[in-house]
Structure 1
């Protein structure tokens, strides 16, 4: 099962107020295990950077000025995510911005049903508890010491670990893998011990054997199965 763990950074809280995406980070996972394939882009929002947003992610308008616009990276982004599920913490926020940007460049929106919201999963699993990304990292003993400020790719990497824990952690999968390996080894061993004590007699008649040998002699070269001892 292919999924994309995704996070974004923006200039503010709502595209309806003219705010834009400034960073997208995506991490590919297969059967809940990261593959190492990532998509990460900073983008020029074509506007100023409010002080409040700058304090969150540290991306200044000056830093972003020479970065590509969303329209310049949209094809690469859509190709990377394909038709995979999108694992997002507080998915409504990121999906709203992504779909606003897609609309502004004339592309169809991403279906809401594609999003797996880890915030909703965490709230159901830990009702009443803090379920921010930092809080979940602390709960699952995931090292987030490098998260001084928000960053889309770093947050996607942390979220991939959080999501794995929310889905049950590594241990159940390891147990199942070990059990499957043991069962396979037992099956192979059983097959090896079920050999006939006495080989069955050949079902070829002497006439069939002679005809085969005659045909082989017309080939002009030693057949491969003879060289291999067959």
Structure 2
């Protein structure tokens, strides 16, 4: 059984070099062959630092809401275990989410699991008329997946939309996880 994990994060800001941290992570793990949900992990995280106003304006999560949530060292082992058991990690803008998670694991002395990465944004250029990187909203539109902007930028909602779009794109032949890649996983 090959497992595929759909992942999204929300953060205190964009730059880890400025000390920004995760405030929310959602990971949904499916059996790649049967598409049955195996794990649904959604966790808010106390970042132990302020949240940049621009970041809070996007995801709507305030520091006060995170006061009673676990810190990253308590959440990281579960994230590591999920990624370690997966053949694939899928993210919309994997160039942001995957390094952010990886560096946060390394920051607390854990290793970053070796996992194949698939980016629905990078691989989804077919979803826009001019071939630009699609927003999640544009990808959902192209895949006929309902998208509610008022619910967007919550990790769980974004993972749900991304997963539906991924399966649709896979079925339509726009996304591909080839036989060689599956066997290597």
State TM-score, norm by structure 1: 0.67
Shift of residue 110, structure 1, vs aligned partner: 3.4
Mapping 1:1-230, distance limit 5 Å: 1-31=2-32, 33-35=35-37, 37-84=39-86, 85-111=88-114, 114-123=116-125, 126=128, 128-129=131-132, 131-145=134-148, 147-169=150-172
Shift of residue 75, structure 1, vs aligned partner: 1.4
Q: Is the CA contact 1:34–1:160 (under 8 Å) kept in the aligned structure 2? A: no
Q: Is the CA contact 1:90–1:118 (under 8 Å) kept in the aligned structure 2? A: yes
Q: Which has the larger radius of gyration?
A: 1
Shift of residue 36, structure 1, vs aligned partner: 5.5
Cα-Cα RMSD: 2.1
Go from structure 1 to structure 2 and tell me whether the alpha carbon gap of 1:12 and 1:164 turns closer, same or farther (over 3 Å shift). Answer: same
Shift of residue 145, structure 1, vs aligned partner: 2.1
Q: SS of 2:41's equivalent?
A: strand
Q: Is the CA contact 2:127–2:138 (under 8 Å) kept in the aligned structure 1? A: no
Instruction: Write the distance in 1 (CA, Å) between the matches of 2:83 and 2:113.
Output: 11
Shift of residue 148, structure 1, vs aligned partner: 3.0
Q: Runs of 4+ in structure 1 displaced over 4 angstroms?
A: 124-127
Gaps of at least 5 residues in structure 1 are: 171-230
Q: Is the CA contact 2:122–2:133 (under 8 Å) kept in the aligned structure 1? A: no
Q: SS of 1:95's equivalent?
A: helix
Instruction: Write the distance in 2 (CA, Å) between the matches of 1:62 and 1:115.
Output: 33
Q: SS of 2:160's equivalent?
A: helix
Shift of residue 129, structure 1, vs aligned partner: 4.4
Go from structure 1 to structure 2 and tell me whether the alpha carbon gap of 1:34 and 1:55 turns closer, same or farther (over 3 Å shift). Answer: farther
State TM-score, norm by structure 2: 0.83
Partner of 1:219: none
Shift of residue 27, structure 1, vs aligned partner: 0.8
Q: Is the CA contact 1:121–1:166 (under 8 Å) kept in the aligned structure 2? A: no
Partner of 2:176: none
For residues 162-194 of structure 1, the C-alpha deviation after alignment (integer angstroms, 9 at most, x for no partner) is 111221249xxxxxxxxxxxxxxxxxxxxxxxx
Q: SS of 2:171's equivalent?
A: coil
Q: SS of 1:7's equivalent?
A: strand
Gaps of at least 5 residues in structure 2 are: 174-185
| Larger proportion of helix | 1
Q: Is the CA contact 1:44–1:67 (under 8 Å) kept in the aligned structure 2? A: yes
